[in-house]
Amino acid sequence: MGPKKSSGHFWVVLVATGLILGISAFGFTFRYYDFEKGTGDIAKIEKMVNDLRAAMNVDAVRQANIQKVMALIEKYNPKMPSDMRYNIANEVYEMSIKYTNLDVNLICATITHESAQSWNPKVTSPVGAMGLMQIMPGTGMFLAEVEGIPWVSPETVLFNPIYNIRLGCRYLSTLIDIYGVEGGLAAYNGGEKRASMWLAHNKANGILWPETQKYVPAILNLYRQFQN
């Protein structure tokens, strides 16, 4: 009697485990039974499973992109605290979703070049541009009003990496909408007037500022690197 009971218990556990594993792996096949509300209920369950699968795929893409940005930050600024690194990476991803003409690689390429490959949230240029995406205080004040960010001071807003990325991506996205990727980058660095003239003359040399002439291919080169 003892061995038979133990064997029966073993098979019960084995079957239950198989069912749990099957459901967890989403490999469970729903069969149509002649229940009172069977067909409708099974259709609802199948939809729930499909929706869950889709959500998991989206989350997997999100996590992969966040990990990629965090790895870049680790490369250029290994001393950045891990919580700030994660928050910045998450904001970069969120901006790539919000603005369809930006992607994670382009945003990262812009930040990398603008921050002189430091990813230092408090980096400042000789002409006064501030933060990760090197925003001038006057431009930042205007963008902050549009974004609904209280303008306390340039340092408070533009040295905040989340605000800086949010403002910079809004500005860059707007310029790319108007001038395309190369023209948008040129406008971001050297102003819209020069970018517009450059495009009107088929991107001829000598129209952009010397810095901007180097800026556009530098960003695009980083962009290609980060795509790999």
The CATH number covering residue 216 comes to 1.10.530.10
For residue 16, is it within any domain? no
For residue 51, is it within any domain? yes
86 vs 11, which has greater pLDDT? 86
Full 3-state SS string of 118-147: CCCCCCECCCCCECCCCECHHHHHHHHHHH
The answer, yes or no, to whether residue 221 has pLDDT greater than 60, is yes
Partners of 130 in the beta sheet?
124, 135
- Report CA torsion sign: 66, 154, 79, 171: positive
For residue 138, is it within any domain? yes
For residue 13, is it within any domain? no
For residue 35, is it within any domain? yes
Q: What is the pLDDT of residues 27-54, one digit of tens each?
A: 444 444 444 555 667 767 766 766 666 5
For position 173, what pLDDT does the model report? 98
For residue 15, is it within any domain? no
Contact 122, 159 (CB under 8 A): yes
For position 21, what pLDDT does the model report? 46
For position 3, what pLDDT does the model report? 40
| Tokens of residue 97, six digits | 């979703």
Beta-carbon count within 10 A of 223 CB: 20
The answer, yes or no, to whether residue 142 has pLDDT greater than 90, is yes
Which domain does 162 fall in, by range? 31-227
5 vs 194, which has greater pLDDT? 194
3-state secondary structure at position 30: coil
For position 52, what pLDDT does the model report? 62
For residue 116, is it within any domain? yes
The answer, yes or no, to whether residue 226 has pLDDT greater than 60, is yes
21 vs 126, which has greater pLDDT? 126
* Dist CA 219 CA 113 (whole Å): 7
Q: Left if phi > 0, otherwise alpha if psi is -120 to 50, otherwise beta: which for 199? A: alpha
110 vs 33, which has greater pLDDT? 110
pTM for the model = 0.77
How many residues belong to the chain?
Answer: 228
For residue 109, is it within any domain? yes
Please give the positions annotated as active site.
114
**How many structural domains comprise the chain?**
1
